[in-house]
Structure 1
Amino acid sequence: MALFGCLRCLVVPLWLVGGLLVSFPLTIAEAAPSSSRHTATIARISKERAAVEANLRSLKQQLQEYQTRLTQVSRKEAQSFKALEAIRGKITVLEKMITDNQRYLAELDADIDHLQNELEGNRQVYGQLSDDFRRTAISVYKYGGNRDVEHIFGASSVNDALVRAQYMGFFTRAVSHNVNELQAAAVRLEENREALEQTYEQKMAMVKEQERQLQQWSASKKEKEQVLVTLKKNKQEYSKQLSIAQKKRQQLQARIEGLIIAEQRAIEAEMERQRKLAEARRVAAEKRARERAEAERRAAAQREAERLAAERQAKARAAAEGKKASRSKQEKEEVALKPAPSVTKPLPAEPQRREEPIVEEADELAAISVNFDKAYGSLPLPVQGGVVTRRFGSVHDKDLNIVTTSNGIDISVPAGTPVRAVSGGKVVQIAFLPTFGNIVILRHTNSYLTVYANLGSLQVAKNEVVKSQQQLGVVGKSSDGASMLHFEIWKGRTKQNPAKWLR
């Protein structure tokens, strides 16, 4: 600090050797980009670490929920399927935490390497600035600090004096700038040292956390094995609980499939209605065309009859010219025989039909929905910070030695986590199951549907149009205390693997 105090009050003579003037701008130019690169790199690393830390906080909350479920299981149910499911969920979350911790440790290692490199670079800059300043201080000591005016007045001409004054002013500013840079370099060194110490402490804490999680994982594996052994000893109770667990899952799938079928029937009925309406319009248009053609035919026949009558009249008048005596009588006969002129009545105007409005949902959905046929691997997760605990399709459960089937995926998240639409769409179905809470189904383009089950409170209503990432509700807790989101994707009546679309 004594050195910094000296730097603040030091007055540098304006006539020092020009060689120093050259070295200072070089030092300044080299230090600035280094500081800029340092700031950008630290910002990037901090952002990456913040994302990992946020995910780890969510996983820790999920882990705590699984632990709470286990402590709430009564002694009678301690060796039950409820306990088994909670333990397996806990193990899955622990495995995800261990993986994320490893990634976090890698981020910390990269941060430490960068800080060490930055520290070494700042040491070099500080050393160079210190050497320059030391040479300046020696010059001040040798030549004294009161010869500035003498140096200016010693010029051979006025122009030379002005040049010397400008030169010395520039030199003074350069020295002052380098004094500031020297102080800033010292501050950066201290910041680097503190950041490095803090990062090392974080790494050590994370390593301990990793070790603790591995111990928890091993203990949970043993606990699961004990539950399985106990369950399988009592085959009757084992079969009963297995049947109950499978029945709950089947109830959810049957309910969702029923809603999907109902929605598809509604779509098909609407398409059939529109088809019949279009067919009725076509038949009516053909009938009108036939009526117009018949009217035109009759009008043409009437015109032809009038033409023939006119020809007969002309011939009669020509024959009557030679019979002047009977002309009057002939004309009267002609007049009597002449048919009354007919007036063709125009067809009555076609009555305006009040067509039933058709809601063109396809156009409406196309404006807000992604094209699922081209969106593989690009859709966001419906919940953030979750862990997939059950995958799509038929999976062999090694613990229970059974094959389970799921029409979608289960994502473990803390209760109250916001559930968002993976794409814009229309809310076409909302239902409730006591065992799996609220179910919301969205319709998208090209006959695609997305299903969100086990929701607590809802923030949408039926027939509402929602945008991508709009919140539908929050994750609730199922009847056995599990907090997870069940998510499905359908095309028509065919279930799809959501993993193909989620990124």
Structure 2
Amino acid sequence: MKYFKALIIFFLLAIGSNQLFAQTRAELERRKAQLNKDIEMINNTLKKTASSKKVTLQQLNALRAQIRLREEKIRTINSEVRLLDGQINENLNTVKSLQSQLKQLKVDYAAMIRFAQKNQGAYSKLMYIFAANDFNQAYKRMKYLQQFSEYRIKQANYIEETQNNLRGKIAVLNKNKQEKDHLLTDQQKEKNKLGNEQANQAKVVKTLTSQEKKLKQNLAQKQRDAAKLDRAIREAIQREIAIAKKKAEDEARAAAAKAKAEGKEAPVAKSSSGSILSATPEAAKLSADFVSNRGRLPWPVSNGVITDGYGKRNVVGNVTSENNGWNIRTGANASVRAVFGGTVARVLEIAGKGVVMIRHGEFFTVYQNLKTISVSAGEKVSTKQSIGTVGADEEGVSEIHFELWKGMQAQNPSLWLAN
């Protein structure tokens, strides 16, 4: 019976472990599938620029994004291999334990068979019962013989069940080993591709470094366009602050007049830009809801890859670039969507690129490089609502520039958007 209890515990642990393994493996497979889609999208954009002999910063950004995605895919494969190694070791231990239990079950069963053979005659059983000292002992001996027969049948069933489970575990173990071999082959292929991409990146960096003066001129124009966008954003936020401040002052005067008429003390008015933007109950709730979704906000496009991230970075050589948001490469004519509910604060055009700015209480999101715009200033929008379609450059590459602000301060989108 103790072996049967051990088997039950074993199987329960194995079921729980297998469910966890399946869940984690499924998550890794989903991430790998998404990475494959992202890599394919970057490959397609690189193919578009491959026909041109001109080496551009966009091409370098795409290569860097491709390498980053490839490295993440290799890390994902490594995680799958480690997961399979753990499962293989666990299954090996299970197989060894089942083999040990099966061996002991067979030993016990053989002993029972030998005992049964020695006492298989009806006469021997009767003599065993009649040799009892009293009726109570005779009854117990009779029950013992009955239970012994039943236990022998159960023991045979335990042996058969253990053999079936052992065969099943061995089959799973072999499947795990085959999956690991496939993953290791895939991993080596990805490493080879990564090596080729890194070599290609080195060539592009070398070419751009030799054209440093021209690259600086191109970046200077981009920075001027970025400065125009920055000024437009700040002006729009200042306008929203002014409107909110005037509304708050009007409400404060009305509240003071009412308090004076009722002989009460007038309430203290809020003064900071953040509190002014969240002065009304609706704006305060919107701000709080926005904050509660930190790290879980959807992307402005359903499928895309970051080619230029937030902050200041070195491009090549002594050339640096600064970004107040993200540049996200996506599919042609992709729908651009609001990352959260709010009100359209401004719709404008900067350097020939459509821009939509949405207010979410004291927060603002900005969407630049829209080919078409389907919303207007003052319109309320909901989370994931389409606000237009993404535009493309002269090489047919589709990218959206996205920024997120809290009052007058630009925020890193990676802290707010879902990873």
Normalised-by-shorter TM-score class: 0.7 to 0.9
Partner SS, residue 369 of structure 1: helix
Identity, % of aligned positions:
17
Partner of 2:270: none
* 3-state secondary structure, aligned to 2:50: helix
Contact 1:66 1:86 in 2 (8 A): no
Amino acid at match of 1:269: I
Q: Which whole-Å CA distance do the structure 1 matches of 2:35 and 2:18 have between them?
A: 26
User: What is the Cα deviation at residue 380 of structure 1?
Assistant: 4.3
Alignment-mate amino acid for residue 117 of structure 1: N
Residue 162 of structure 2: aligned partner: 181
Aligned length: 392
Residue 100 of structure 1 is matched in structure 2 by 72
Question: Aligned equivalents of 1:442 and 1:404: distance in 2?
Answer: 26
Match of 2:59 in 1: 87
**SS across alignment from 1:478:** coil
| Equivalent position of 2:398 in the other structure | 483
CA drift of 1:489 comes to 2.3
Query: 217, 221, 228: which is aligned to 2:202?
Result: 221
Preserved contact between residue 74 and residue 190 of structure 2 (Cα < 8 Å): no
TM-aligned CA distance change 1:272 to 1:38, over 3 Å: closer
Deviation at 1:35, TM superposition (A): 1.4
Deviations 1:44-94 (A, max 9, x none): 430342243034213312321332221353xxxx22xxx312321232123
Deviations 1:344-374 (A, max 9, x none): xxxxxxxxxxxxxxxx9732233343477x7
- 1:199 paired with 2:177, answer no
The CA distance in 2 between the partners of 1:435 and 1:177, in whole Å, is 78
CA distance in 2, matches of 1:36, 1:120: 15
The one of 208, 215, 236 aligned to 1:262: 236
Separation in 1, partners of 2:151, 2:106: 19
Q: CA deviation at 1:107?
A: 0.9
Unpaired runs of at least 5, structure 1 = 1-21, 290-359
What amino acid sits opposite 1:69 in the alignment? K
Secondary structure of 2:160's partner? helix
Find out whether 1:443 has 2:359 as its counterpart.
yes
1:170 Cα deviation (Å)?
4.2
CA distance in 1, matches of 2:388, 2:191: 31
CA distance in structure 2 between the partners assigned to 1:148 and 1:443 by the alignment? 94
CA 1:368–1:148 in 2, change beyond 3 Å: closer, same or farther? farther
Aligned mates of 1:86, 1:192 — CA distance in 2: 47
Q: Does 1:31 find its partner at 2:5?
A: no
Contact 1:24 1:175 in 2 (8 A): no
- Unpaired runs of 5+ residues, structure 2, are 131-137, 263-277
Deviation of the 1:176 alpha carbon: 1.0
Larger Rg: 1
1:7-86 matches, cutoff 5 A = 22=1, 24-73=3-52, 78-79=53-54, 83-86=55-58
1:291-370 → structure 2 map (5 Å cutoff): 362-370=280-288
In the TM superposition, residue 272 of structure 1 has moved relative to its aligned partner by: 1.8
Cα distance, 1:211–1:98 mapped onto 2, change above 3 Å:
same
Deviation sequence 1:312-353 (CA, Å, 0-9, x none) = xxxxxxxxxxxxxxxxxxxxxxxxxxxxxxxxxxxxxxxxxx
Offset of 1:187 from its aligned partner?
1.1
Corresponding residue number in structure 1 for 2:326: 409
Aligned to 2:344: 427
Amino acid at match of 1:442: I
Residue 316 (structure 2) aligned to one of 372, 381, 398: 398
Aligned partner (choices 225, 234, 238) of residue 251 of structure 1? 225
